[in-house]
Amino acid sequence: EDEIALFERDMKEFWTEFKSVYGAEQINQTLALRDSCKEAIEALSEKWSKKLKEGDLMIDKIQEYKNEILQQSKCISEKEEQLAEIKSKLSQEEEQQTKLAESIQELKEELAKKMEIVSSKDKAAKEKVERLCKSKVLFEERLGLEIRRIHNEQLQFIFRHIDHKDPDKPYMFTLSINEKGDYEVTSCTPPLDCITEFQLKVRETNNFSAFVANIRKAFTALSYK
């Protein structure tokens, strides 16, 4: 407390001496200058305070823009992943379509070949049937044979004048052309044990006249039993 009192006394002495030296006018000028500086400082402080607030707002805005950009970047990244997935699926579908088109083309070519083979077989079968029909007169005259065309492009061969006790008794067998284009006996009345052997032989030799003659001989031999 003594030191404070001493300091106050020294300040009063300084202020009295200052006023006596500079006078009231200088003091007033100093005070005016002080007030002017104070006002300038307050104005500058207010200006910079406003600038700081604007800066804070700008920082907040920049942060908001950064967050928005990050969000958009994340969205773009997700879209790019989705696009890459779609491209991959499209590529797989295109590959599958290419394979499917190749498979379809192969099937078309295979079908065309099969149709050509079937057509060729049908043509060969029809030609055989036609040749048999053309031989009808010859067989009827020489072997007492009647040939009939029945369902499914089959030919029925009917022999008579075999059984001397009953010349009108029919002995018959039915012949067709199978899928391989070979002769095939589908029925035989009365049945002959040797019919399978005759069928194999005519497939090997293609001598149809001998085939018919052998069957007639077998029927004749059977009639004497």
pLDDT digit string (tens) for 143-153?
678 888 888 88
HSE (side-chain half, CA atoms, 13 Å) at 95: 6
**Which residue would you say has higher pLDDT here, 170 or 88?**
170
The H or E element that residue 71 is part of is helix 2-134
Domain residues of the chain, as ranges?
Answer: 76-142, 144-224
The whole model's pTM is what? 0.41
pLDDT band of residue 174 (cuts 50, 70, 90) is very high
Question: CA neighbours within 13 Å on the CB side: how many for 179?
Answer: 2
Q: Are 131 and 137 in contact (CB under 8 A)?
A: no
Q: What is the pLDDT of residues 6-43, one digit of tens each?
A: 888 888 888 777 777 766 666 677 777 777 877 877 87
Burial class (CB in 10 A: 0-12, 13-18, 19+), 176: middle
* Per-residue pLDDT at 129: 67
DSSP 153: G
Write down the mean pLDDT value for the chain.
84
The pLDDT score that the predictor gives to residue 181 is: 87
What residues pair up with 155 in beta bridges, in sequence order? 149, 175
Residue 198 has pLDDT above 90, yes or no: yes
Q: What is the DSSP letter of 105?
A: H
Residue 134 binned pLDDT confidence (cut-offs 50, 70, 90): low
Q: What is the predicted pLDDT for the residue at 136?
A: 63
Question: For the domain 144-224, what is the CATH code?
Answer: 3.30.457.50
- Of 149, 152, 105, the residue nearest 130 (C-alpha): 149
Check if the beta carbon of residue 86 is closer than 8 Å to that of residue 143.
Answer: no
Q: What is the CB neighbour count within 10 angstroms for residue 162?
A: 20
185 three-state secondary structure: strand
Say what the pLDDT of residue 139 is. 64
